[in-house]
Amino acid sequence: MPMAYLYGKKFVGPITQTILALREELYSIPYDTIDWDKARHSCAKDDLRYPRSKVQNIIFSCLNKFVEPMLNCWPIKKLRDKALDNLMEHIHYQEENTKYICICPIDKALNMICSWVENPNSDAFKQHLPRIYDYLWIAEDGMKAQVYDGCQSWETAFIVQAFCSTDLVNEFGPTLERAYDFIKKSQVIENHPNYQSYYRHRSKGSWTLSTGDNGWSVSDCTAEAVKALLLLSKTSPNLVGHPIKHERIYDAIDCILSFMNKDGTFSTYECKRTASWLEILNPSESFLNIVVDYPSVECTSSVLEALILFKELYPPYRSKQIEKCIKDGAAFIENKQRKDGSWYGTWSICFTYGTLFAVKGLVAAGRTYDTSSSIRKACNFLLSKQLITGGWGESYLSSETEDYVDGGTPHAVNTAWAMLALIYAGQVERDPVPLYQAARELINMQLDTGEFPQQEHIGCFNSSLYYNYANYRNLFPIWALGEFRRRLLATKR
C-alpha cells in the first residue's frame, strides 16, 4: 500500500547532499545514467529466487506503457486521486490499530513517509516517531533492525511449556508468575473497529507474535498462548498467580475457531480467502507463495493441541465444532507427510521443525507409534538423520531445496526438535539409546554460563529469508532435556 501511494503520488523529496551521497553509495553506476525502463525488469542475481514469467513481464510492461500515462491525465486522474485517498485511509487504519508499529520495519518506514508526504505536521507522523525504536537493537557490530517488532508472546508461551516439561515448576515460581502475567496482559481484548471493511480478521481474544500493541492476531500464537495459560491454570495460584478469567479463554477459543479454513486447517493471519492461481500476481521475485495465506502443518498442529487441552478442562464449550476441527486437522497433517516420513516446516528450518509439530499434533489427537504409520515413518526419518555424534544439524538450504540437507555439524535447536518429536512418539519406552546420545550432545554443547551457543539461524520466511529467534537456543534444549528426564523417571516408577 505505501509503495502504491508513493508511486501514484509521484513523490520526490528534496534533493539534498545526503540524498546525493546515498545515490552514489547505493547504485553501482552513476544515478543520472540509469535506464529505468530496463531497471524495471532487472533483479540482483542473489535475490532472483523466483523469476517473473513472460506473461507477468508483458502485463506489467503494458500497464506501465499504456495504462500509467492515462492515469496521469484528466479526467481519469480523478480516479487515481480517489484511489490514493482510499489507500491513505487503509494506511492510517493499520497505523492506528498497530499503535504505529505496523507489521514490519519496511512498511513501518514507508507508512511513516506516506504520513509525512500527506502532511509533515500531522499527528500520524508524530506518533510514528517514538515507535521506530521497537525495531532497533544494538548488535556487536552496530545498530540493526529486526524483521518484526519482536516475538515476545510467541517465545514466552514456549518458555512456559519448557518450564512445565521439567517438573521443576516449584523452583521457578516467581519467573512463571511474571510470564503468566505477561501472557494475560498481552491478549487482544477487542476487535478493531469496522475490521471487515478493511479486510482484516477478527482480533478479540487473540495473541500477536509480539505484544498486544502490534494488533495483528495470529492463529498459532493464540494457540500456543492458550496452551501456556491452561498448563499454568493447573498450578497453584499461590505459586504463579490467579488464572485468567474463563471468559477470556472462551474469547481465545472463539478467535481460534474463526481462523479455521473450510477443510479444518489453519493459516497464519487469516483464513485462506482465495485460490492459488492468484499467485500469478506475485511480483516479488524473491519470495514464493505470498499472495495467499496458505494452511500450514505448524499452525494446524498448534491449534489441535490447544483445542484438545481446552476440551479436557472445558468439555461442554463448542464441543461439536472442536471435535470436527480436531478430526479434520489431524487428517490434513497426515496427508501432508512426505514419502520419506517428514513434514516441511514453513516458519523455521525446516524438516526437523515441521516434523516436530506434526508429531505433536498427531500424538495429541490420539495417534501412537503402534496405531499410526505416519508416526512410525516420522521416527524412522528422524533416526536416519541423526549424526554419529548424537545430534542433528539441518542446513538452511533445506528450505530452498525442499529436501533435507544435512549441515554436517550438530545444532542445539535442531537436536532439541528431533529429540522432542521422538520423545512424544514414544521413543523413550521403545529404545532410549538415541535419546541418550542426543542428550549427551546437548549437555556437551552447554556453555559455562548455562546457555547454549548461538549457531546458524533457524527462522525462515517464504523459503528465502532467514532470521533468528533469540530464545530458541535455550528454551528448546531445556524443553527436550526436561521432557526426556521426566519420561525416564516415569518409566522407572
Active site residues: 220
**Residue 10 grid cell:** 509521484
Q: For helices 319-335 and 351-364, what crossing angle results, to 10°?
A: 140
Under 8 Å between Cβ of 319 and 340: no
Say which residues have a Cβ less than 8 Å from residue 389's Cβ, sequence separation at least 6: 410, 437, 441
Residue of 302, 301, 282, 280 whose CA lies nearest to 290: 282
**Residue 266: strand pairing partners:** 260
Cα–Cα distance measured from residue 284 to residue 329, given in angstroms and rounded to the nearest whole number: 31
Cα–Cα distance measured from residue 383 to residue 377, given in angstroms and rounded to the nearest whole number:
10
DSSP character at residue 460: E
Closest CA to 365 of 330, 335, 318: 330
DSSP character string of 185-218: HHS--SPPTTGGGGT----TT---SS-GGG----
d(CA 60, CA 182): 47
- 142 three-class SS: strand
Classify residue 277 by burial, with Cβ atoms within 10 Å: 0-12, 13-18, 19+: exposed
Q: Which residue has the cell 480523478?
A: 78
Distance separating alpha carbons of residues 162 and 183, to the nearest angstrom? 15
Dihedral angle over CA of 325, 331, 162, 214, nearest 10: -50
Cα(121)–Cα(139) distance, rounded to whole angstroms?
A: 33
SS3 101: coil
H, E, C per residue of 243-277: CCCHHHHHHHHHHHHHCECCCCCECCCCCCCCCHH
| Residues near 396 by beta carbon (within 8 Å), at least 6 away in sequence | 349, 350, 456, 457, 458, 460, 466
**Per-residue buried b or exposed e for 16-52, using 16+ beta carbons within 10 Å of the residue's own CB:** eeeeeeeeeeeeeeeeeeeeeeeeeeeeeeeeebbeb
Question: End-to-end CA distance of the chain, in Å?
Answer: 60
Determine if the peptide bond prior to 75 is cis (ω within 30°): yes
Answer yes or no: are the C-beta atoms of 217 and 191 closer than 8 Å: no
Distance of alpha carbon 171 from its chain centroid, rounded?
31
